[in-house]
């Protein structure tokens, strides 16, 4: 029996065709149809030991925004949940990279049953993925909540709209202040011109008469 705790920093990775011999051994030990599974080798995630031998494997089939966790197989060890935990971390990364929103499974190990939740009958009935089986006792794990995502989107849109309205209001106020300033400047210039004319009329009537005479003579 192997001790998973002696494998420091367990890491899961995607399986390759080079892993087929090790996968055959795991699948046969678990009583799985290895002849059929080997066609889907790239669906599997594996955990290897220090000697590169495979300790555990599990498949993740993706179909649209749904994923199927299936065909767990592992060598006997003192802490199988350590292997499952390493697999689960990689499963979530791979699922998100493929746009999966909900993972489904029929795996019954306690680790998976404490991670997943029993799927509601309505959710099972509406499942349209290729692996759908309305009569199966599905468990599911939702990677993203559409309702929550929509709420976050609505909140961000509302915040953006509030900022946009505030910016538009600030711009309008700025334009109004510029117009008021321009009006005051124009009024001041006109007033200065009127005062200058009045000064000339009062203080230099002869000059004013001369200016009028020049205009009237044209």
Residue range 43-61: mean pLDDT, rounded:
95
Would you say 56 and 47 are in contact if contact means Cβ atoms under 8 Å apart? yes
Q: How confident is the model at residue 159 (pLDDT cuts 50, 70, 90)?
A: confident
Q: Regarding predicted confidence, which is higher, 163 or 172?
A: 172
- Which range (4-8, 100-104, 207-211) has the least confidence? 4-8
pLDDT number for residue 4: 47
The dihedral sign for the CA sequence 72, 78, 84, 86: negative
Task: Report pTM.
Answer: 0.65
Residue 35 CA to residue 24 CA, distance in Å, equals 8
Q: Taking Cα atoms as reference points, which of 41, 54, 33, 30 lies closest to residue 107?
A: 30
The alpha-carbon radius of gyration of the chain (Å, integer) is: 39
Quick check: 68 pLDDT over 80? Answer: yes
pLDDT number for residue 169: 78
Residue 124 CA to residue 29 CA, distance in Å, equals 31
pLDDT number for residue 5: 45
pLDDT number for residue 190: 83
CB burial readout 106-119, b (16+ within 10 A) else e: ebeeebbeebbeeb
Summarize pLDDT for 103-154 with one digit per residue, the tens. 999 999 999 999 999 999 999 999 999 999 999 999 999 997 555 545 545 6
Q: What's the mean pLDDT when you consider all of the chain?
A: 85
12, β-bridge pairs: 47
Residues sharing a CB contact under 8 Å with residue 71, sequence separation 6 or more, in sequence order: 27, 30, 32, 37, 44, 57, 58, 59
Task: Please give the helix or strand (H or E) that residue 200 lies within, else none.
Answer: helix 146-203
Summarize pLDDT for 1-29 with one digit per residue, the tens. 455 444 457 899 999 999 999 999 999 99
pLDDT number for residue 7: 47
pLDDT number for residue 208: 59
Would you say 34 and 61 are in contact if contact means Cβ atoms under 8 Å apart? no
Which DSSP string corresponds to 129-191? STT--TTS--EEEESS-HHHHHHHHHHHHHHHHHHHHHHHHHHHHHHHHHHHHHHHHHHHHHH
Quick check: 32 pLDDT over 70? Answer: yes
Q: Taking Cα atoms as reference points, which of 18, 124, 106 lies closest to residue 58?
A: 106
């Amino acid at each position: 029996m192997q001790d998973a705790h002696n494998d420091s920093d367990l890491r899961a990775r995607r399986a390759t065709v080079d892993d087929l011999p090790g996968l055959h051994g795991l699948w046969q030990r678990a009583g799985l149809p290895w002849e059929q599974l080997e066609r889907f080798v790239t669906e599997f995630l594996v955990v290897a030991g220090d000697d590169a031998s495979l300790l555990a494997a599990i498949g993740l089939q993706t179909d649209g925004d749904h994923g199927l966790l299936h065909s767990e197989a592992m060598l006997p060890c003192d802490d199988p949940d350590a292997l499952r935990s390493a697999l689960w971390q990689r499963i979530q990364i791979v699922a998100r990279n493929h746009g999966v929103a909900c993972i489904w499974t029929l795996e019954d190990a306690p680790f998976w049953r404490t991670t997943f939740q029993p799927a509601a009958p309505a959710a099972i009935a509406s499942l349209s993925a290729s692996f759908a089986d309305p009569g199966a006792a599905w468990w599911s794990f939702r990677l993203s909540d559409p309702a929550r995502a929509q709420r976050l989107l609505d909140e961000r849109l509302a915040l953006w709209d509030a900022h946009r309205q505030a910016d538009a209001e600030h711009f309008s106020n700025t334009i109004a202040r510029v117009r008021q300033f321009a009006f005051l400047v124009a009024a001041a210039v006109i007033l200065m011109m009127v005062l200058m004319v009045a000064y000339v009329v009062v203080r230099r009537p002869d000059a004013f008469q001369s200016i009028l005479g020049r205009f009237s003579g044209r």
